[in-house]
């Protein structure tokens, strides 16, 4: 076993609105591409597990008949269009010729009993990763794909990598769920302990499966991923296996995305996605032929690892399991669960590439898309499409209705939208090629461009509605604060808001504030004074001219100027110089609570026009290492008050200042990334009264 540690390195003080934006500020590289694909599997590799939790080890099993191998690992994203970032390597290891795979003829299962894996600690941000292997003698190259998951981070979007479909189509070693040559010769059980087709990339990248570079349909997920990260959406990644294994995973997100070709679903997968919808999680199927086959997952016959074997007989008469877990199509009357009951549409056919025909452009999904009824979005349909059948959910709205000709007969593909009783929206694009309309990766070598500005805008509208649904909001009384952080349940940079409003705190610095220290009430959070900060986002900000209160406990002995709480402009921060002329609010409408060099509390408001309506400073010096309760208030008439340990320290009458919805930071001046706090904070409460 070879163990190597590598962390996500971020410059001290660097900040972006979410981890994906921060990640994509880092330098990318085109080196992730293969330039000399191994023509005859001179080098081959696979990752185990294919879905690894952040902070855990991923194993790479490699065979090489062409000498030593060099390993590089890339996280796939936008990165200014370069498409990937090297997070590991290059590191060279002895080439090993591994044993021949074990073949179980009864089920036509191919499984590799390979040994001596390379172990790497996956301490990187959630994402889809490609491990690239290059041989020493002839420079032959291949991949091993894997996904780093982050179960504990409640990002807006969960992107599901369709790894079970990759496995069903994986013919490495001779058998897939489709043959090798005839459907009747297909495998019934498929092992994850073997390399994937397409030089290890499976369907994730455009599939050039012959040396002439002839293109086969794939790469939809990568196009969608590039666009999402370019747009700056807060995304975490996982696989079908993660959805299969956890009934709670999806409920931590606002949206679940199925992208491209997502054909093979187990019953737990489907039940967990339906449960998420019924809990208010929005679903988007930027895909087709989705959830067509029911599959099972079994342990590896060689290693005993859970969920390492995909079972798919595709015929309930051949399957030894005869109950509701039999591996047949979901629409089979025996299962009586057609996929349209969840999606709204289901698989119809394999058309030639065709256009998406728009209707109902008064719908909100078409806002600012510049489309009229009857307009076309060229080249989006294919290579498989879905349509409405007879058992779609109540309230289904058809968004597009697109005709195509197949063998002399007119067919249609539909995209649809419905709202579940929980308030969750469910969108189905009805085509595998949806992602190609968002991003042009692979053009012109692999395919022609079908990039569509209207489709991009429709997707933005949909994801915006997912994040901010138009449904009856929770009703909070005046006694409910905007946020309450007790720091009792802090986990890897996530700080839970216990007010019920879900204005949680996040930290993405290279080192996180220390959780679990002894607090004034239970546990507290401790900052080291060097680049550590927590962001609450704009939802926790004070907006307008009304009264507000910020209260918390703190203790420190540090003699520097330190910022405790700041609501300040960070709109234009993208790792460049500041340009307030293009910023949303500039310096307008800010407040800050800090400790002066003399150890006194200061509380002030500021904007360009009014400068400082009030600037308050305490008489008490608090840098004595003891806990002090700080309460900063603005009253209805604009008067500022500063309290320490239940004693009014300072007050000032002032004109009302219109505060703007800037990001709220804890432990630093969030705008300038300076004056980092060194000490403890506990029981932070922000109220808009």
* pLDDT value, residue 576: 26
pLDDT of 630 > 80? The answer is: yes
- Contact of 541 with 664, CB cutoff 8 Å: yes
pLDDT digits 0-9 by tens, 19-51 = 999 999 999 999 999 999 999 999 999 999 999
Q: Which has more confidence, 435 or 152?
A: 435
Tokens 């163990």: give the residue.
3
pLDDT digits 0-9 by tens, 302-320 = 999 999 999 999 999 999 9
Q: Which has more confidence, 622 or 501?
A: 622
Separation CA 538–CA 61 (nearest Å): 45
Least confident of 66-75, 169-178, 464-473: 464-473
Our separate counts of H helices and E strands in the chain read 7, 44
What is Dmax (Cα atoms) for the chain?
Answer: 87
The CA dihedral of 529, 535, 540, 541, to the nearest 10 degrees, is 70
Phi-psi region of 327 (alpha: psi -120 to 50; beta: other; left: phi over 0): beta
pLDDT of 208 > 70? The answer is: no
pLDDT of 347 > 90? The answer is: yes
Per-residue confidence band for 579, with pLDDT thresholds at 50, 70 and 90: very low
* Segment 50-67 mean pLDDT: 97
Tokens 């058998």: give the residue.
175
Q: Is 221 helix (H, G, I), strand (E, B) or coil?
A: helix
pLDDT of 9 > 60? The answer is: no
Contacts 24+ apart (CB under 8 A), 577-585: 584/660, 585/660, 585/662
* pLDDT value, residue 212: 36
For residue 218, give the nearest of 436, 40, 51 by alpha carbon: 436
* pLDDT value, residue 209: 43
* Segment 644-652 mean pLDDT: 96
Residue 598: CB atoms within 10 Å: 12
* Residue 302, both tokens: 């060689």
- Contact of 622 with 557, CB cutoff 8 Å: no
* pLDDT value, residue 658: 87
* pLDDT value, residue 574: 28
- Contact of 258 with 276, CB cutoff 8 Å: no
* Residue 583, both tokens: 């910023």
pLDDT digits 0-9 by tens, 478-520 = 788 999 999 987 766 778 888 887 778 877 566 789 988 999 9
Q: Which residues, at least 6 apart from 473, have a Cβ–Cβ distance to it below 8 Å?
A: none
pLDDT digits 0-9 by tens, 184-202 = 899 999 999 999 999 999 9
* pLDDT value, residue 5: 31
* pLDDT value, residue 496: 85
* pLDDT value, residue 99: 97
SS3 of 411-477: the string is: EEEEEEEEECCCCCEEEECCEHHHHHHCCCCCCCCCCCCCCCHHHHHHHHHHHHHHHCCCCCCCCCC
Question: Cα 348–351–353 angle (5° rounding)?
Answer: 135
* Residue 277, both tokens: 């919808």
Burial (Cβ within 10 Å: 0-12, 13-18, ≥19) of residue 667: buried
Per-residue confidence band for 222, with pLDDT thresholds at 50, 70 and 90: very high
* pLDDT value, residue 531: 87
* pLDDT value, residue 3: 38
For residue 593, give the nearest of 631, 542, 555 by alpha carbon: 631
* pLDDT value, residue 445: 85
Per-residue CA distances from 139 to 64, 211, 390 (Å): 11, 16, 55
Per-residue confidence band for 467, with pLDDT thresholds at 50, 70 and 90: confident
* pLDDT value, residue 16: 45
Q: Which has more confidence, 147 or 497?
A: 147
Mean pLDDT of all residues belonging to the chain? 89
pLDDT > 90 in the chain, percent: 73
* Segment 559-580 mean pLDDT: 62
Per-residue confidence band for 131, with pLDDT thresholds at 50, 70 and 90: very high
Residue 267's Cβ-side half-sphere holds a number of Cα atoms within 13 Å equal to 10
pLDDT of 584 > 60? The answer is: no
pLDDT > 70 in the chain, percent: 91
């Amino acid at each position: 076993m070879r163990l190597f540690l590598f962390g996500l390195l971020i410059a001290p003080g660097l900040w972006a609105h979410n981890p994906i934006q921060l990640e994509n500020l880092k330098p990318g590289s085109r080196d992730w591409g293969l330039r000399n694909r191994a023509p005859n599997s001179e080098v081959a590799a696979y990752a185990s597990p294919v879905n690894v939790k952040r902070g855990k080890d991923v194993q790479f099993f490699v065979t090489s008949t062409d000498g030593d191998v060099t390993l590089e690992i890339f996280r796939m994203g936008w990165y200014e269009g370069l498409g990937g970032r090297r997070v590991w390597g290059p590191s060279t290891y002895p080439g090993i010729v591994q044993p021949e795979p074990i073949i179980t003829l009864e089920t036509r299962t191919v499984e590799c009993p390979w040994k001596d894996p390379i172990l790497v600690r996956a301490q990187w941000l959630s994402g889809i990763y490609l491990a690239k292997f290059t041989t020493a003698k002839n420079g032959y190259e291949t991949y091993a794909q894997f996904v780093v998951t982050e179960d504990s981070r409640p990002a807006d979007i969960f992107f599901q990598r369709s790894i079970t479909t990759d496995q069903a189509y994986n013919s490495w070693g001779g058998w897939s769920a489709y043959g090798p040559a005839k459907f009747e010769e297909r495998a019934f059980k498929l092992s994850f302990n073997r390399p994937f087709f397409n030089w290890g990339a499976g369907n994730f990248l455009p599939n050039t499966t012959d040396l002439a570079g002839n293109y086969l349909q794939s790469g939809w997920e990568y196009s969608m991923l590039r666009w999402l990260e370019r747009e700056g959406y807060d995304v975490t990644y996982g696989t079908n296996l993660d959805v299969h294994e956890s009934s709670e995973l999806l409920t931590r997100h606002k949206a679940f995305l199925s992208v491209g070709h997502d054909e093979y679903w187990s019953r737990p997968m489907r039940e967990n996605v339906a449960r998420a919808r019924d809990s208010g999680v929005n679903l988007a199927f930027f895909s087709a032929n989705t959830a067509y086959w029911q599959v099972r997952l079994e342990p590896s016959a060689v290693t005993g690892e859970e969920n390492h074997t995909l079972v798919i007989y595709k015929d309930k008469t051949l399957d030894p399991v005869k109950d509701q877990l039999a591996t047949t199509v979901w629409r089979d009357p025996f299962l009586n669960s057609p996929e349209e009951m969840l999606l709204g549409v289901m698989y119809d056919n394999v058309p030639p590439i065709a256009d998406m025909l728009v209707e109902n452009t008064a719908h909100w999904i078409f806002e600012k898309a510049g489309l009229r009824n009857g307009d076309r979005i060229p080249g989006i349909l294919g290579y498989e499409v879905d349509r409405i059948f007879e058992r779609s959910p109540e309230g289904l709205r058809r968004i597009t209705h697109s005709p195509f000709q197949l063998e002399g007969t007119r067919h249609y593909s539909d995209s649809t939208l419905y709202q579940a009783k929980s308030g969750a929206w469910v969108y189905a694009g009805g085509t595998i090629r949806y992602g190609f309309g968002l991003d042009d990766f692979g053009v012109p070598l692999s395919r022609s461009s079908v990039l569509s500005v209207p489709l991009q805008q429709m997707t933005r509208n949909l994801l915006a509605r997912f994040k901010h649904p138009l449904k009856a909001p929770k009703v909070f009384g005046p006694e409910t604060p905007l946020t309450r952080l007790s720091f009792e349940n802090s986990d890897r940079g996530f700080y839970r808001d216990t007010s019920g409003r879900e204005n949680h705190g996040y930290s993405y610095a290279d080192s996180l504030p220390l959780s679990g220290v002894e607090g004034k009430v239970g546990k507290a959070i401790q900052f080291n004074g060097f680049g550590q900060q927590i962001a609450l986002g704009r939802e926790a900000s004070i907006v307008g001219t009304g009264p507000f209160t910020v209260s918390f406990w703190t203790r420190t002995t540090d003699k520097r100027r330190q910022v405790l709480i700041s609501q300040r402009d960070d709109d234009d921060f993208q790792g460049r110089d500041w340009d307030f002329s293009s910023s949303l609010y500039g310096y307008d409408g800010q407040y800050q609570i800090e400790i002066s060099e003399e150890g006194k509390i200061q509380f002030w408001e500021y904007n360009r026009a009014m400068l400082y309506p009030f600037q308050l400073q305490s008489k008490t010096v608090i840098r004595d290492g003891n806990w002090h309760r700080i309460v900063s208030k603005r009253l209805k008439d604009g008067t500022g008050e500063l309290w320490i340990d239940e004693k009014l320290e300072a007050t000032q009458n002032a004109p009302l200042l219109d505060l703007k919805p800037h990001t709220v930071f804890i432990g630093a001046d969030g705008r300038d990334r300076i004056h980092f706090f060194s000490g403890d904070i506990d029981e932070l409460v922000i109220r808009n009264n």
